[in-house]
């Protein structure tokens, strides 16, 4: 599957490791939440680590380990199931997670902008055409009215900053 990150199609640096598979000696790995929670300390001590976190599991269970994770992959099992949006916003806004936040599963092109706004910065897509469409979509919008988890300030806050700098004589 193509991986889109930073508006570009990139090679995935993380190797997905099944629960019953042996861990590679080196390199970045991506494991399930079951394998991760079985022994988070041992996994975190070996190098770059990512976890696939299902959308039916509370992110509060992940919070104590966020500083050890380079990647959190949140799952969209169906395009109709948006719980991963909430998880992404919580991780970015409430818990200050700054690592890679990847959308995986049913990642559809018409939801890319919403996923970006929720705080996702990487996307596992099923089709090459969707990956290419995303690289264009990410450039399409530069100003938003609503505040969100992607770190961009809203149009209102941009105007307020402009007024403040004008009134301060800057």
| pTM of the predicted structure, to 2 decimals | 0.81
Tens digit of pLDDT at every position of the chain (170 positions): 789 888 888 999 999 999 999 999 889 999 999 999 999 988 988 889 999 999 999 999 999 999 999 999 999 998 889 999 999 999 999 999 999 999 999 888 778 888 888 889 999 988 888 777 777 776 666 655 565 556 666 666 667 777 777 777 65
Q: What confidence score (pLDDT) does residue 126 get?
A: 85
Supply the DSSP string of 64-131, one letter for each residue.
GGGGG-SEEEEEESSTT--HHHHHHHIIIIIS---SEEEEEES--GGGHHHHHHHT--EEE-S-HHHH
Number of structural domains in the chain: 1
Looking at the domain assignment, is residue 58 inside a domain? yes
CATH code at position 114:
3.20.20.70
Whether residue 165 lies inside any domain: the answer is no
Does any domain span residue 113?
yes
Q: Is 159 domain-assigned?
A: no
The answer for residues whose C-beta is within 8 angstroms of residue 71's C-beta and 6 or more apart is 14, 28, 30, 48, 49, 50, 51, 99, 100, 101, 102, 122
């Amino acid at each position: 599957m193509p991986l889109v990150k930073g508006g570009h199609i990139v090679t995935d640096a993380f190797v997905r490791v099944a629960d019953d598979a042996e861990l590679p000696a080196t390199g970045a790995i991506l494991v399930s939440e079951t394998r991760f929670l079985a022994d988070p300390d041992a996994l975190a001590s070996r190098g770059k680590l990512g976890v696939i976190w299902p959308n039916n599991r509370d992110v509060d269970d992940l919070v104590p380990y966020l500083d050890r994770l380079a990647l959190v992959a949140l799952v969209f099992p169906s395009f109709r199931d948006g719980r991963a949006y909430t998880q992404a916003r919580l991780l970015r806004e409430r818990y200050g997670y700054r690592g890679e936040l990847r959308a995986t599963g049913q990642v559809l092109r018409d939801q890319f902008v919403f996923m970006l706004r929720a705080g996702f910065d990487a996307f596992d897509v099923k089709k090459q055409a969707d990956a290419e469409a995303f690289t264009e979509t990410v450039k399409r919008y530069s100003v938003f009215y609503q505040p969100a988890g992607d770190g961009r300030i809203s149009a209102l806050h941009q105007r307020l900053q402009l007024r403040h700098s004008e009134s301060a004589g800057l």
